[in-house]
Amino acid sequence: SQTIHQWPATLVQPVGSPLSLECTVEGTSNPNLYWYRQAAGRGLQLLFYSVGIGQISSEVPQNLSASRPQDRQFILSSKKLLLSDSGFYLCAWSRRGTVSTNEKLFFGSGTQLSVL
């Protein structure tokens, strides 16, 4: 069966510090991978998605970047965090194919990031 791992679960970082959140998927090959952000009590905002190694699509221009160094690894990074980067970050995967091939997303457990 497929599983998705996301860590850390919580993170408190000072403004201006770097960020690295990691997500890995097991039990499937060549998945589509996604990073979402969710502000408290709000909806889901798509940040990045990837259909293959080294292929990153950005949905929202911002202070963050994403990388996919391996097939089942997706990393969210920032060189200098802003207060507005605080939120609940979710990684997700779907089966291979184009991102709109009617495939459901499977989400990780999330990382609660607080930038102080």
Partner 1 sequence: GESVGLHLPTLSVQEGDNSIINCAYSNSASDYFIWYKQESGKGPQFIIDIRSNMDKRQGQRVTVLLNKTVKHLSLQIAATQPGDSAVYFCAETVPGNTPLVFGKGTRLSVIA
| Interface with partner 1 (CB under 8 A) | 6, 32, 34, 38-39, 41-46, 49, 59, 90, 92, 98-100, 102, 104-110, 112
Q: Of the two residues 25 and 90, which places its CB atom closer to partner 1 in the complex?
A: 90
Q: How far is the CB of 16 from partner 1 (least distance, A)?
A: 25
Residue (of 7, 59, 70, 61) closest to 34 by Cα position = 59
Q: Of the two residues 53 and 88, which places its CB atom closer to partner 1 in the complex?
A: 88
DSSP character for 50?
E
Q: Of the two residues 29 and 98, which places its CB atom closer to partner 1 in the complex?
A: 98
Residues making up the chain, counted from first to last: 116
Q: Of the two residues 38 and 73, which places its CB atom closer to partner 1 in the complex?
A: 38
Q: How far is the CB of 3 from partner 1 (least distance, A)?
A: 12
| Separation between Cα atoms, residue 107 and residue 5, nearest integer Å | 9
CB burial class (10 A; 0-12, 13-18, 19+) of residue 31?
A: buried
